[in-house]
Structure 1
Amino acid sequence: MLITISVPQAVDDNGLISHFEPAASDASSQLIEEASTPITLIPTGAFLLPAFCDLHLHAPQFLYQGNGLDLPLMQWLDKYTLQSEARLDANPTLARRVYTQLASQLIENGTGTVLLFGTIKVETNLILAECMLSAGIRAFIGKLSMDIDISSPDSRKLTYVERNASTALEAVTLFLEGCGSLVNQLPPTRRLIEPVLTPRFVPTCTNELLAGLGNLSEKRNLKIQSHLAESKEQAERVRSEREMDDINVFEKANLLTSRTIQAHCTFLQKPNFQHLTQKGTSIAHCPLSNSYFSEEPFPLREALDCEVQIGLGTDIAGGYSLDIMSAMRQAVMVSRMREGVRSMDASRSSDTKVSIDWVESLYLATRGGSRALGLEGIFKIGAPFDAQEVAIYDTYTNRGIGALNYFDLESRLEDERIVLDREMVEKWWCLGDGRNRRHVWIQGHPVKDT
């Protein structure tokens, strides 16, 4: 058996890792021997992994997850997105039900940290914050800011927009105060929700609103999230209306900072990535939703080579899966398809490969997304204990767990010791699911026990 670093001796009262050594070390042995409460054990056939980080998710879109993905982006927003957001803003009971279920399913999928888009109504976003806080999830929550109506003439009976920039900025201030009221009485390490400035994207925001949000971010040191260069239609619309690309619009408003996370970025090129690196701006890569709404795949390898900080997002409901494991697999798959195109192009035969492997995707799903939010995403002394226990092999039945098969191990001798290796973990990465996830901890607190 292997000992976790989890409770309570190796994690302090603030949920921070205070001891991190092999279970067989002298210090670990002493810790175990002197333990005054039961020690949590990780059985042979299981391992600890940092909890996943979902760097881009639209909380109200969980209401219609899996619908309408046959439509182009702007039509989909008009038919589904704006309608669902308005519906939740008008029905707090429904909003609480949707957000409570969202929090529960995030935990089931091993997601401990999430960056959320909300709606435009302050009260609905505070319900979202309450639901995430109650579930014990580390959540960065954005009240939408948008003062331009993008609904089509056919649906103008719905006007889902804030009256003007001044009204939108006042609402953001109220949201900031509301989030503060939710956590101010809690110990600092239990303040697991944080407000994030959230201009939906350039087509929904006047230059006045964007500039106001930029000033507010700088004044209060607030994080920012939005969408950047997601689709051809969106990019051309911005260029036509603002006479510049949306990356330039964001920079002009002081919204490209080291506190900024931009989703998608599929239509950016190497010079843009280099510029984002200089600014310290991070990217939320959402391979599934890109497949539906972006005419081009995101150049992930090129962005990584430019040292842009990147994490993975599910982009519910532009992506239909809430599982970051799906996002990892899709990120690798898309990159492999891009590599196939590159290798078949004789004119680019000497170019650097553009694919990533499963280990790199696992980094993006944990450490990559966490770093974009100013967190650790790894196990080390002083870091929050955000972890999941993944069980892949049952030593009592000699069989893999869930969809996993390890045929060579089924005939092992009873006293043979099982040592997990890279190939066994890779099999989990390809085939694993919720049946393999036994426990989840956030800031040292158990939020899932199987």
Structure 2
Amino acid sequence: MVSEAPRAFMRMKTLHGHFAQSPFDAAEVEQYLDLSQHVFLELRHKTRVYSLACGYIARQPDVQSLRYSPELLSGSLAENELRTEATPTTIGLGFFEFQWRGHELSALHQMFGSPVGAGNAVDVFTNLVLFAKIGEAEALPLFCNELVQESEQVQAGFINVFEWHPTQQYWQARVVCPARPMASIILDAGVKEKLLADLDEFLAPETQKWYKEHGIQHKRGYLFHGVPGSGKTSLVQAIAGHFQHNLCYVHLTHPNLTDESLRAAMNQAPRHSLLVFEDIDAIFGRDRERLLADSVLTFSGLLNALDGVGKADGQIFVMTTNHRDRLNPALIRNGRADLHIEFSHASDSQIAGMFARFYPGTEHRCQDFVGNLRHRLTGRPVTTAALQHFFILHRRSSALQALDSVQDVVEELEQRDDEQRMMLEETGKQSLKEAPDKRSGH
């Protein structure tokens, strides 16, 4: 994993002995250590390694300056469970001394300069400056690289979720959450098995060796397409947990995502990561036309990023869309989307499978539930998301009670249709109201 540490290390050696140019008040630091005997490495705020280093120092004994950061909370709690770990703390401002692998290191955490406007907020320049003795200078980049590598390790049963920050150009760790069991994903017979077999074969050591011998980038792309609420996102999460991969989201519709930023996201992606591009049809049309006025990403930039994804070390990426027919063929050809998985409205086998999962031991009732539901729907399709909502509402009901309550599914669908109809009517009224104003020039 390449981080900013080696680049900062070069600056560190260049600036050695020239502390007048340093990003800190030399007189203040001299109160704690002899600068002539130390080198430093600066970590800028809003970078991945900055947050990791602050968190590491906060966990050391004798640290007195701490800051509560609820955004650091991860995972979930059981009902009535109290959180006892100290993870939502990071260091406050000040000077810190700590050890790492036998090295005596120091850190200055500071804010300086005048507040500046940053979008809709006000920001103050913040950095963390690490110090080591001259003879141990290599410890600083090694320390940073180890923090990054540890952050990418996936614990069994959990997934690390990252998001690409297009402005600061770094992968921001968002949350560590329980992985979704693959058994909870109910698809038609053979679909899930085909996908898992494809991934197993792709990730096998002999496959990686074959790609390398033939000079082909070891990467694999998937297109999940179909109706909303059919399980595309759920399957992505389950795959990440099943193969113990980091889940990394890139929001292509972000107005600050440039071609260069997208390429950086691919090249800096955490090891063993599954990159996700949701709603790929929202950014470009079938004729490559840009659909968002404030977007600066180009279609060729997107294709180039997909073609050169990562470092060819087993990278997996998934594109999702509700409308495959709206995508340009070049975007979903082999090499960019090697396997297409269609997600339709719930089939009878999916309905039966979901009933059996939520009411284990009642397999003999599954077809009764399917029959009752289809009778009530009178030919109307239903999504797996709507069915899951039903089972959540009836989590305290017995299987027989659920069988007698299938009308709730229909009523929920009708309510959603009414809400959608009212929203469209309101939008139409607003458009008619604005039309005379446009004609009159007001």
TM-score in same-fold range (> 0.5): no
More strand by share: 2
Question: Normalized against structure 1, the TM-score is what?
Answer: 0.28
Question: Normalized against structure 2, the TM-score is what?
Answer: 0.28
Larger Rg: 2
